[in-house]
Structure 1
Amino acid sequence: MFVRLPLLLAISLLTGTAFAADAPLLHPMFQDHGVLQRDRPIPVWGNAKPGEVVTVTLGGATMTAKAGTDGAWRADLPAQAAGGPVILTAKTATAQQVAADLLVGDVYLCSGQSNMEMQVARSLDSWTETNRAKHPNIRYLSVDRATNTSPQRDFTHPVRWRAVTPETVGDMSAVCYFFGREMRQIVDVPVGLINSSWGGSTIESWMDTADLAKTGLYAQDLAILSAYDKDRHAGIRKYFDVWEAWWKTKGQGEPWRTAPAAGDGWRAVPSLTSFVTWGVPELNPYVGIVWYRSTFTLTEAQAKQGGTLLLGSADDYDVSWINDVPAGSLYGPGDPRRYPLPARTLKPGVNQVTIAVINGYGDGGLYGSADEQAILLADGTRVPIDGGWQYKVTPGEIGTAPHAPWGTVDGLSTIRNAMVAPMGPYAVRAALWYQGESNTAKAPEYQSLLAGLMSGWRRQFGADLPFLVVQLPEYGYPQDKPIESGWVRLRESQRMAVAADPRAAMAVTNGLGDWYDVHPANKQQVAKRLTRAARHLLLGEKITASGPVPVDAQRHGDVVRIRFTDIDGQLKALNHHRPIGFELCGAGWDSCRFVDASLSGDTVTLPIGDGPAIRVRYCWAESGMCNLYDDARLPTGQFEIPVR
């Protein structure tokens, strides 16, 4: 609660009323029912009048801090042992704020895309899980979706800590909650869970721009983003220059400059719904660009006002013009488009709206109604886009269009700025990361991207922040021959990034996926494997982190022998008398071939035969039939290593 002294303090103590203020003393991370990290200094911060002295008290510890010229202050309280409840108080000469019923224990930050975001209500046996969720010492805070082009001190939407109950657990992240429950059973301390995740998001959207710059992959996009952050229209113009130049290489004209004409291949839009539902064979299914256009009419007085283009939503993303002038672009299925227009964009008479809608998966198109699709003039008048929508399908394969770097789920640092940066230096025990599905098109780069993400988050939360990474499980129909794919290559990038980081561990999820569903429901077992990784990495238990790991592969005459470590008990070939899923390869991926294998102790032996053998791969498939486990029933993860 936040109050002004002295009168409001007396009222709050009598009634328990919470008082709001423009600049609360305590940052929203510190509020009733929260969890603070045990056994390490506790940073506490907030806002006060510039120059004010803030006295912070937690239990028997008291520290003071002085607000800077911007009103920001920070105090680092001494470490406390697990326990509680305790009260945190921040006080100045004129105000006081109290956070009550705080627990001190272990805090975990859970992040990623839809498989981390996926709720308990959608998990396996959700009815039982929901009704048994009575854990007053497990607290949960969820960060609502938001983006920004620069790092933010405060959250866009209010956040609050909640205890886990049957009434609250259904909307919680299943992996995050099940992990917290498992850890609470192992270490009897309170658990705090922070969920900041967003379905469909790329890893780039969660990274600091400094770490993106280090990869050398995003110089042009970062320059565009910097321009956009300073001057929205200038940034849009820079992006459209890139997009239009890319499109012109396709040799299909400039639809944004083309006035409607009879017989030019444009057809009437049946309805502003997914084009998959239109009954047009070439659009069911369709991945690529569908062009839309329509018109509206303005008087001279209206055109002089300027205004905002309202478009409803587009799936997956749009690139939009008015009268040949760039209006805006956004990647964010379901997000309404509101594009403030540059001066002198509108003109008296007929104006044309042209939209390239790019679809990458499933449903796609422009959605909305007459109320949603309009020009909102500066005086508040809404002029409907009522010229009748037309569409035109882009023929042939055109490749990947350039994305605007300020997008929602695919922007550069945009989610991190609004959903991670506001957490400040809040003390956490470890970060859980479950993401990668949206980065399979950049699978080889993912190793450096994941390393960059971990580096950036450690600058914020502490240099020793441990990471527990979930490797992607099976997804896709099994194949009858060796393959190469982005899904498989991304799993390998995950493995290599974690193997190179002594403060990271991986949960291998072989056996937990679904051939037909990118969101498998068995999140309980994912959490159990994460918990085992945590026991190894965080608690120092003498157990393997994730299952058998290859040490090396050596050629001995006409065979290759692969030696394994991190074996709990013995290696086992399940459901068959020998291991399956091994390949020997030459230089190219198309040189790979399946080979028989035999198992003895910690070694798998592969006969070379007549083919090349400079690399060995195991379980190198989107949904591999792989059976090499150990006595703990932990799978050997996918790998590719050279043969020596």
Structure 2
Amino acid sequence: MQKQNLKLPALLTDGMVLQRNEEIKIWGWSQPQQQVKVIFKNREYFSRANHKGEWFVILPEVKAGGPYDMKITTAGEKISISDILIGEVWLCSGQSNMELPMQRVKDRYAEEIKKAGNDQIREFKLPITYNFKEENEDIEGAGWKKVTQDTIRDFSAVAYFFAKKLNDKYEVPVGILNASVGGSPVEAWMSRKSLADYPVYLKMADEFSDTEKIQNAEAHNLEVNKEWAAKVHKNDQGLKNAPTYFDSAYDDSDWETVEIPGKFDQLNFANKNGVVWFRKELELTEAEAEKPSRLWLGRIVDADTAYVNGKRVGTVTYKYPPRKYKLKDGILKEGKNLIAVRVVVNNGQGEFVADKPYKLFTGENEIDLRGEWKYKVAAVIEEDKEEEIFIQWQPTGLFNGMISPLLNYKLKGICWYQGESNTGREEEYKDLFVKMIKLWRRRFKQGDLPFIYAQLPNFEPPEENEREIWAAFRNAQRDALKLKNTAMTINLDLGEWNDLHPLNKKDVAHRFYLAARNLAYGEELIYSGPKLKNLVKRKDRIILEFSNLAGGLNFKGDKLKGFELAAADKKFKKARAVLKNNKVIIYTEALKNPQYIRYAWKDNPKEANLYNQLDLPAGTFLEKI
């Protein structure tokens, strides 16, 4: 970077929030050896740029307050910063469940959004930025935003609800640094030095340090999507036909019927790729047709385009987002209306996901769209869509691009929601995650900076639940608690079996908030569910003691469930458990010499029902007896 004129990092701009009760670093660039003056709260601070043009000053601790102004001057140049608040600054980072914006949960939190407007809560959202050659000094294309009706939908939902709780409680400004990237694994958020024990990851980082490699990957991704779209379009009989399958004039009398929602196995389309069209007719009154309308089509795997009465009303190109389409006035009509949905399957797992809303809203009226639809296979493509290369997920890239530019900024603490992309690699994650926490603390130079992280929630269908991948990962997440000043929130009751991105972000944020009050603000309170403290083996039983009782242990349902025992062979069997005097008694009559005990050991442990009196659940664990 060529530093010729006075320049500040993107973080230091109008509307910024600075950490209260901490010395504050103000830094930037100018011409080498040039004197720089910073004026803040009627005091002057001086610095001289080094030979690289780098300069900084340290401001003394300031109590919460504002708004303030700041002026930075050199010979012939001046920068003014206005509307500065002093309060609490939290870094919220991770992957998509931290990144997920309020826009995505707008229907669940409609009243929250309607009431949003607080200039004491501000967010600095970093754009996705990666660098595999060096650590970035600054960020491009970002700035501070206040919570307003115009901005609330862009705020991270978890971060917003967390900040709102803090602001309500402590009545000070709260600034959020939002550095989160969907799909990112932990190794993307680590430096080269911290990955020294992982030569495979260093090799990957080296490969992407080559600009040509990145250009080739970008070209590959464009070509993959272009080729697949062309192939799908070319083979889609529904678009080639005259009239098209979405046209009301098309005769679908020979189409077969199917119950929606459901998997495409029932269409004889299991493990196949291509295009399947679906059609459904419904009658509307004149009054219904004239009201504002929305079409909700649950969630569809993989991509869909929806049509109503021959008009395209919306499209989503990948499987995770909900399908919620607002219809323009005049699309619906009195009498017969046609809904047509074109579904493109990329990886052999087509599906209208169950337990999602499939509805047509007309004003306050809801029409259930579940049930019988007509369908026709319009294209079968033999091969899977070729995989894209996600450059931003490669090792070191996000640390260099998104964390490094923040390292001079004082924080109160860190909230971390990540792990989905590392499931299946739990033993490696134990080491990587601890290394990452130590790295961030070392580089922020704030000692044992409070670090709060979310244990992954429940996921996958309970009735098909033989998977233990997430369970093993949740157990591995416990390992970081050995580090001082860390806290893990338990979210086993906040997931959705059919959605990697559960909508209940408010309760996730509440648990971050409880942990912050304890860890960062020194309040004596219980922020988590029962935590295993001790186990004692008796002749025919094992006695488990827990901390975080909050008045006592509790369970939901008719009896305590979710515990399993195993001998040395680790073949686990369900164990009978009872609650007595705030201890859990596990009876071992079915197993002569138990060696291991575990709890909530399924990806979606529906039976696990141990709670404390605050209605906070116990988390997954595995222990040797």
TM-score (normalizing by structure 2):
0.72
Please show how residues 447-466 of structure 1 align to structure 2 within 5 Å.
447-462=430-445, 463-466=447-450
Measure the CA separation in 2 of the matches of 1:392 and 1:195.
41
The answer to whether structure 1 residue 579 and structure 2 residue 563 are counterparts is no
Measure the CA separation in 2 of the matches of 1:444 and 1:583.
21
Report how far residue 224 of structure 1 moved. 4.9
Match of 2:78 among 91, 96, 112: 96
The answer to whether structure 1 residue 592 and structure 2 residue 572 are counterparts is yes
Instruction: Give structure 2 stretches of 5+ with no counterpart.
Output: 218-229, 241-263, 274-301, 304-317, 320-345, 351-380
Q: Deviations over 1:248-284 (max 9, x none)?
A: xxxxxxxxxxxxxxxxxxxx9454899xx99999996
Q: Deviations over 1:361-410 (max 9, x none)?
A: 968xxxxxxxxxxxxxxxxxxxxxxxxxxx97489xxxxx9x98xx4242
Structure 2 counterpart of 1:103, one-letter code: L
Measure the CA separation in 2 of the matches of 1:169 and 1:30.
22
Give the corresponding residue for 1:475. Answer: 459
> For the structure 1 residues 547 and 220, does the alpha-carbon distance in structure 2 shift closer, same or farther, using more than 3 Å as the test?
closer
Measure the CA separation in 1 of the matches of 2:139 and 2:382.
38
Partners of 2:94 and 2:184 within 8 A in 1: yes
Q: State the superposition RMSD in angstroms.
A: 3.5
> For the structure 1 residues 36 and 360, does the alpha-carbon distance in structure 2 shift closer, same or farther, using more than 3 Å as the test?
farther
More divergent stretch after superposition (220-229 vs 22-31): 220-229
Measure the CA separation in 2 of the matches of 1:534 and 1:272.
55
> For the structure 1 residues 575 and 79, does the alpha-carbon distance in structure 2 shift closer, same or farther, using more than 3 Å as the test?
same
Measure the CA separation in 2 of the matches of 1:25 and 1:394.
49
Partners of 2:565 and 2:597 within 8 A in 1: yes
Report how far residue 615 of structure 1 moved. 1.1
Match of 2:122 among 139, 164, 169: 139
Give the corresponding residue for 2:226. Answer: none
Give the corresponding residue for 1:411. Answer: 394
Please show how residues 397-408 of structure 1 align to structure 2 within 5 Å.
407-408=390-391
Report how far residue 94 of structure 1 moved. 2.1
> For the structure 1 residues 575 and 568, does the alpha-carbon distance in structure 2 shift closer, same or farther, using more than 3 Å as the test?
same
Give the corresponding residue for 1:185. Answer: 168
Measure the CA separation in 2 of the matches of 1:234 and 1:634.
45
* Partner SS state of residue 640, structure 1: strand
Give the corresponding residue for 2:532. Answer: 550
Give the corresponding residue for 1:51. Answer: 33
> For the structure 1 residues 203 and 66, does the alpha-carbon distance in structure 2 shift closer, same or farther, using more than 3 Å as the test?
same
Partners of 2:126 and 2:139 within 8 A in 1: no
The answer to whether structure 1 residue 602 and structure 2 residue 582 are counterparts is yes
Structure 2 counterpart of 1:597, one-letter code: A
Match of 2:617 among 623, 632, 635: 635
Partners of 1:473 and 1:510 within 8 A in 2: yes
More divergent stretch after superposition (567-576 vs 117-126): 117-126
Structure 2 counterpart of 1:501, one-letter code: L
Give the corresponding residue for 2:12. Answer: 30
Q: Deviations over 1:547-581 (max 9, x none)?
A: 211012221001111111121001111222x3211
Partners of 2:167 and 2:174 within 8 A in 1: yes
Please show how residues 9-20 of structure 1 align to structure 2 within 5 Å.
none
Structure 1 counterpart of 2:72, one-letter code: A
Give the corresponding residue for 1:206. Answer: 189
Measure the CA separation in 1 of the matches of 2:565 and 2:43.
62
Report how far residue 442 of structure 1 moved. 1.2
Report how far residue 103 of structure 1 moved. 0.3
Report how far residue 71 of structure 1 moved. 1.6
The answer to whether structure 1 residue 613 and structure 2 residue 613 are counterparts is no
* Partner SS state of residue 433, structure 1: strand
Structure 2 counterpart of 1:107, one-letter code: V
Structure 2 counterpart of 1:94, one-letter code: G
* Partner SS state of residue 471, structure 2: helix
Report how far residue 23 of structure 1 moved. 5.0
The answer to whether structure 1 residue 78 and structure 2 residue 60 are counterparts is yes
* Partner SS state of residue 428, structure 1: coil
* Partner SS state of residue 7, structure 2: coil
Q: Deviations over 1:511-543 (max 9, x none)?
A: 111011111111111111111111110111111
Measure the CA separation in 1 of the matches of 2:348 and 2:449.
36
Report how far residue 34 of structure 1 moved. 0.9
Give the corresponding residue for 2:340. Answer: none
Please show how residues 367-446 of structure 1 align to structure 2 within 5 Å.
393=383, 407-446=390-429
Please show how residues 246-257 of structure 1 align to structure 2 within 5 Å.
none
The answer to whether structure 1 residue 62 and structure 2 residue 28 are counterparts is no
Report how far residue 63 of structure 1 moved. 2.2
> For the structure 1 residues 286 and 585, does the alpha-carbon distance in structure 2 shift closer, same or farther, using more than 3 Å as the test?
farther
Structure 1 counterpart of 2:595, one-letter code: I
Partners of 2:125 and 2:177 within 8 A in 1: yes
Measure the CA separation in 1 of the matches of 2:211 and 2:161.
44
> For the structure 1 residues 394 and 30, does the alpha-carbon distance in structure 2 shift closer, same or farther, using more than 3 Å as the test?
closer
Partners of 1:492 and 1:640 within 8 A in 2: yes
Measure the CA separation in 1 of the matches of 2:162 and 2:384.
46
Measure the CA separation in 2 of the matches of 1:207 and 1:224.
13
Please show how residues 79-478 of structure 1 align to structure 2 within 5 Å.
79-123=61-105, 125-155=108-138, 157-213=140-196, 216-217=197-198, 219-226=199-206, 228-229=208-209, 232=212, 269-271=231-233, 285=271, 393=383, 407-462=390-445, 463-478=447-462
Measure the CA separation in 1 of the matches of 2:235 and 2:178.
32
Q: How many pairs does the alignment contain?
A: 489
Structure 1 counterpart of 2:454, one-letter code: V
Report how far residue 636 of structure 1 moved. 1.0
Partners of 1:120 and 1:129 within 8 A in 2: no
Report how far residue 36 of structure 1 moved. 0.2
Report how far residue 603 of structure 1 moved. 1.1
Report how far residue 189 of structure 1 moved. 0.9
Q: Deviations over 1:404-432 (max 9, x none)?
A: 8xx42420011221122122311111111
Structure 2 counterpart of 1:464, one-letter code: D
Give the corresponding residue for 1:308. Answer: none
The answer to whether structure 1 residue 521 and structure 2 residue 503 are counterparts is yes
Give the corresponding residue for 1:344. Answer: none
> For the structure 1 residues 541 and 126, does the alpha-carbon distance in structure 2 shift closer, same or farther, using more than 3 Å as the test?
same
- Give identity over the alignment, percent: 30
Partners of 1:565 and 1:602 within 8 A in 2: no
Q: Deviations over 1:330-356 (max 9, x none)?
A: xxx99xxxxxxxxxxxxxxxxxxxxxx
Measure the CA separation in 2 of the matches of 1:145 and 1:362.
29
Give the corresponding residue for 1:493. Answer: 476
Partners of 1:174 and 1:523 within 8 A in 2: yes
Partners of 2:6 and 2:77 within 8 A in 1: no
> For the structure 1 residues 421 and 588, does the alpha-carbon distance in structure 2 shift closer, same or farther, using more than 3 Å as the test?
farther
Instruction: Give structure 1 stretches of 5+ with no counterpart.
Output: 1-20, 238-267, 288-314, 317-332, 335-358, 364-390, 396-400
Measure the CA separation in 1 of the matches of 2:65 and 2:580.
49
Partners of 1:506 and 1:545 within 8 A in 2: no
Partners of 2:139 and 2:405 within 8 A in 1: no
Q: Deviations over 1:27-85 (max 9, x none)?
A: 11011111000011101111101111111222144322221222222222111111111
